[in-house]
Each structure stands twice: as structure tokens, then as C-alpha cells.
């Protein structure tokens, strides 16, 4: 209990003093996570819509695999990306291992199936509503996907926020591919793991509280900016 209390005090101290190292870690966490969410959304949202609109032979199997991939073990993804980016790997020449880019790649692999899967379910409901209209209006497949993504944008925000939630709290994969290097690839989660390992529970707890506050803050900000729950009918 004392550690938790100390954690709150430490969190308050870190925020109040605007600790330079903390700001750096928070900014990197946000940069990596938001980049990953953006890239995964660019891939996942149209993929989810495409799977709704198109009928093909292995569609069900594809959806089942995509849903299963939502539970991808981050450590395995980290290992996979590590092997791809390591010197002996196929992309070793790019020199990306232990850089924020490698962390973004790992996070994109982890959250793309999540975003695609949730958006698929959301868009499926909207497609059931729009199906006859869009067919009747002779909309092309691309136009159908565009209409579904645009009109379902507020609901799709949930998919993106779920991706953000998973990515910001991710530790296993980015520890492997980022290496938790000070002033280079250290983010909030890896810093928490490090401080816990060192026995600095109050600092670790403080960072944890900041991480949670950050996740809640970003969610609230996005909800406010996109005016969800105001025009509920949309």
C-alpha cells in the first residue's frame, strides 16, 4: 500500500518538476504509438471494410484468421521483427534494429489485426443497413468502402482507440526490437519494467500512473475532438 501511495507522490513529483527524462520518454511513447496507430489504421480500416463488401472463396477463413491474430503474443511478434531486422536477417541492411522505427513496425504488426477485426464488425452492421442502397445507386466497390468508412467514422474511432490502448501499454515486443536504450528507445512501459527490475517501485508506480493518465487523456481528447456522444444518431 505504501508503494502505491509513494507511486502517486512520485508521479506528482515527476509531473510537477517536468523531469526532462520523463518528458523525453513520454514524447517517444506517444510518437511510436501514434505512428503505429496511424499506419495500422491506414491498413486495418480499409481491410475491415473490404472484407465486408467482398465475397470470395476463403472469406470466412480470412476473417477467422484475422480475429485469431488479435491475440498475437507480442513477444513472438518482437522476436519475428528482431529476426527480420537483425544483421543476418533479410532487412538487416536497413539498420533499423534498436530504433523507434523497429518499435513502430512491431506495434503495427500487433495492432493491425485488432483494428481490422473491430472495424470489420462495426462496418458489417453498417453494410447491412446500406447494402441495398449502395447496390441500387450502382456504387463501385471502392465507393462502397469509402461510404462505409466515412459514415462509420465515429464508430471506427473505437477500433483506433483499442489499437492505441494496446500499443501504448505494449512492452514485450518493443523491449526486444527497441532494446530499451536510454535517450533512444526507452518508452514508458520499458522504463517501468526497468525500474521494477531495479527495485525502484515508487518510480515504476509513478511512471505507471502517468502511463494510465496518458492513455485516458488521449482517449478523452480524441472523443472531444470528434464530438462522439453528441450526435449519437450518427
Residues numbered 195-234 forming contacts with other proteins, rule: CB under 8 A: 231, 233-234
- Work out whether 143 is an interface residue with other proteins (CB under 8 A): yes
Q: Are 22 and 187 in contact (CB under 8 A)?
A: no
Question: Does 55 interact with other proteins (rule: CB under 8 A)?
Answer: no
Closest CA to 195 of 186, 187, 204: 204
Site membership for other proteins, residue 17 (CB under 8 A): no
Contacts of 12 (CB under 8 A, 6+ apart): 206
The only residue of 69, 76, 139, 212 in contact with other proteins, by rule CB under 8 A: 139
186: Cα within 13 Å, side-chain hemisphere: 14
CB of 136 to other proteins, least distance (A): 4
The verdict on 44 binding other proteins (CB under 8 A) reads no
Q: Near other proteins by CB under 8 A, which window of 2-10, 43-51, 125-133, 211-219?
A: 125-133
- Burial class of 164 by CB neighbour count within 10 A (0 to 12, 13 to 18, 19+): buried
> Any contact of residue 54 with other proteins (CB under 8 A)?
no
> Is 149 a residue that touches other proteins (CB under 8 A)?
no
Q: Which stretch binds other proteins (CB under 8 A): 32-40, 139-147, 167-175, 203-211?
A: 139-147
Nearby residues of 43 by Cβ (< 8 Å), 6 or more positions away: 108, 112, 115, 116
Cβ closest to other proteins, residue 13 vs residue 153:
153
CB of 54 to other proteins, least distance (A): 17
Q: 9-27 burial by CB neighbour count: b if 16+ within 10 A, else e?
A: ebbeebbeeeeeebeebbe
Interaction of residue 141 with other proteins, rule CB under 8 A? no
Tell me the number of residues near other proteins by CB under 8 A. 16
C-alpha angle 16/198/194, rounded to 5°? 70
What are the phi and psi torsion angles at 72 (to 5°)?
-55, 130
Applying CB under 8 A, does 133 fall inside the site for other proteins?
yes
Q: How far is the CB of 174 from other proteins (least distance, A)?
A: 37
**Degrees, nearest 5: CA angle 144-146-149:** 105
Q: What is the contact surface with other proteins in residues (CB under 8 A)?
A: 129-130, 132-133, 135-139, 143, 147, 151-152, 231, 233-234
Amino acid at each position: 500500500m505504501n508503494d502505491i501511495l509513494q507511486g502517486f507522490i512520485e508521479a506528482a513529483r515527476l509531473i510537477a518538476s517536468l523531469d526532462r527524462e520523463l518528458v523525453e520518454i513520454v514524447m517517444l511513447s506517444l510518437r511510436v504509438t501514434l505512428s503505429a496507430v496511424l499506419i495500422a489504421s491506414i491498413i486495418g480500416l480499409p481491410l475491415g471494410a473490404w472484407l465486408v463488401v467482398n465475397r470470395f472463396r476463403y472469406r470466412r477463413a480470412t476473417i477467422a484468421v484475422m480475429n485469431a491474430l488479435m491475440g498475437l503474443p507480442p513477444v513472438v511478434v518482437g522476436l519475428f521483427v528482431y529476426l527480420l531486422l537483425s544483421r543476418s536477417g533479410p532487412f538487416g541492411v536497413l539498420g533499423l534494429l534498436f530504433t523507434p522505427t523497429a518499435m513502430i513496425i512491431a506495434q503495427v504488426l500487433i495492432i493491425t489485426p485488432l483494428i481490422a477485426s473491430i472495424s470489420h464488425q462495426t462496418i458489417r452492421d453498417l453494410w447491412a443497413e446500406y447494402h441495398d442502397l449502395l447496390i441500387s445507386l450502382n456504387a463501385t466497390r471502392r465507393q462502397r468502402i469509402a461510404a462505409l468508412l466515412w459514415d462509420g467514422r465515429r464508430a471506427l474511432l473505437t477500433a483506433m482507440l483499442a489499437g492505441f490502448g494496446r500499443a501504448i501499454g505494449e512492452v514485450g515486443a518493443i523491449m526486444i526490437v527497441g532494446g530499451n536504450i536510454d535517450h533512444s528507445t526507452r518508452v514508458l512501459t520499458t522504463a517501468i519494467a526497468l525500474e521494477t527490475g531495479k527495485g525502484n517501485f515508487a518510480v515504476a508506480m509513478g511512471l505507471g500512473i502517468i502511463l494510465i493518465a496518458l492513455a485516458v487523456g488521449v482517449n478523452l481528447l480524441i472523443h472531444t475532438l470528434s464530438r462522439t456522444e453528441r450526435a449519437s444518431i450518427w
